[in-house]
Structure 1
Amino acid sequence: MYQELGSFFNPSPEMRELSILKAIAENPSISQERLSREIGIVPSMVHRYLDDFEKTGLIKKTGENRRTMSYVLQGDGRNRLQYLTVAYLSDVAKIYAQSRSVFGEVLDFIGINGLDSVYLYGAGIVGKMLSTILLFERIEVLGFIDDSALKKGKEVGGVPVFDPEQVIETDYDGIIVASFAHSSSIISRAEAKGLRRLYVFEISENGSVSLKKHD
């Protein structure tokens, strides 16, 4: 299933159409209830899409009732799925190129300084965003470091969250402080616990981003 983007990119009818067609291609007997859960729309909307697909010849329904119902992609349906997939990947490529230009300085800094394996100090929104980008760029994110008892020992986006003292003796290339609002206090706590090789993720007043080594 294709993952929809965040709140800045509201899901379009084309995105929902693509998601439904792909789900049907992978599992023709998928139920409308499961489609609703996976795509994140109400069952009545799923029903409308399926009716439209049948009327336009994209799918053919088989089965006498809901339990035995299957949806078979027709030739036009397969063509539509291929077209929407190409359009989706084209848009994703554009978004990636734009994000790469925004984070280019940060990624270049990471490469120049050999930060191949890092911890992210702060498992909030900034940390999660950085984790997604770094993992996509094949940079090893060893884990989050966080002082919150509610987060320690859990995972955020599949990345484990550690207490600061758990990582002191581990091997890492750097610790990126992933909080622009509380970076100073995080640095103070990190230094007090003996953590080393600290780098600070910064967002300037004009919206540019950078990564700097803490001296």
Structure 2
Amino acid sequence: MDKSPPEFYKPAPPLRDLQFLEALEQNPHLTQRELSHRLGIALGVTNACLKNMARKGWIKIKKIPPRRIGYYLTPHGFAEKSKLTYRLLSNTVRQYAAAKRNIARKLLAWEKAGIKRIVFYGVSEEMEIAYITLQGVNLELVGIVDDDPAKQKVRFFGIEIQAPDQLIQYQPDGVLITSVQAKERIEKHLKNHFSQLDLKVESL
């Protein structure tokens, strides 16, 4: 029975290719099943990707004793890995800059509207960008809340993360939803539990 992970994780092709090349550079003797589990990709997709890379000349497939197969990066494969790394890094920088501009626009609008005290709701990588952007505006981050108990009581930016029911104690003027993934759930929670407060709510 095939116990490879379900194919719900589908990284973009360039990222997937880079993950394959990095894994094979570290250990060319990985089996297809081991690669499948390491990368969280279905076994059939793993097989197809390896065949495609061999066809492109990125890897060379060799039989190794006892009754195993090795997947070795070729010079072309190493060159392609470098290109993919540069391309993905460039995309990340562009996405970071775009996110920072978007957050800055929203925070500046709050500043002009007279908002002073804000709370971040949702611990995430996006929240780190929001915090960096916050340094350029005249707003005070008075608290951070998150639904996940594992994140609560941890200090972030010198602020102890609290449960959402502690939001009122901060007396904020606005709440910035800083988790894109949990946006809808957080909006629903704020509407159901804090609608009586005159809070400005924005999301990233």
Residue 133 of structure 1 corresponds to which residue in structure 2?
A: 126
C-alpha separation between the residues in 1 aligned to 2:61 and 2:38?
Answer: 20
Deviation at 1:51, TM superposition (A): 2.1
Write the letter of the residue equivalent to 2:127: L
Q: CA RMSD in A?
A: 4.3
Residue 85 of structure 2 corresponds to which residue in structure 1?
A: 85
Q: Do structure 1's residue 58 and structure 2's residue 54 form an aligned pair?
A: no
Residue correspondence of structure 1 range 129-168 to structure 2 within 5 A = 131-136=124-129, 144-146=145-147, 151=148, 153-155=149-151, 162=163, 164=165
Higher RCO by CA contacts (8 Å cutoff, separation 6 or greater) = 2
CA offsets 1:61-88 (integer angstroms, 9 cap, x no match): 342357x543222211110001111111
Deviation at 1:58, TM superposition (A): 1.5
Q: Is the alpha carbon distance of 1:84 and 1:200 closer, same or farther for their aligned partners in structure 2, counting shifts above 3 Å? A: same
Deviation at 1:114, TM superposition (A): 8.7
Tell me, which stretches of 5 or more residues in structure 1 are unaligned?
1-6, 121-126, 192-197, 204-208, 210-215
Tell me, which stretches of 5 or more residues in structure 2 are unaligned?
1-7, 133-140, 178-185
C-alpha separation between the residues in 2 aligned to 1:141 and 1:31?
Answer: 51
Deviation at 1:144, TM superposition (A): 2.8
Deviation at 1:165, TM superposition (A): 5.5
C-alpha separation between the residues in 2 aligned to 1:18 and 1:27?
Answer: 14
- Give the match's secondary structure for 2:44: helix
Write the letter of the residue equivalent to 2:150: K
Residue 33 of structure 2 corresponds to which residue in structure 1?
A: 33
Residue 74 of structure 2 corresponds to which residue in structure 1?
A: 74
- Give the match's secondary structure for 2:21: helix
Write the letter of the residue equivalent to 1:132: E
Q: Is the alpha carbon distance of 1:45 and 1:188 closer, same or farther for their aligned partners in structure 2, counting shifts above 3 Å? A: closer
Write the letter of the residue equivalent to 1:29: H
Residue 190 of structure 2 corresponds to which residue in structure 1?
A: 183
Write the letter of the residue equivalent to 1:74: T
Q: Do structure 1's residue 16 and structure 2's residue 16 form an aligned pair?
A: yes
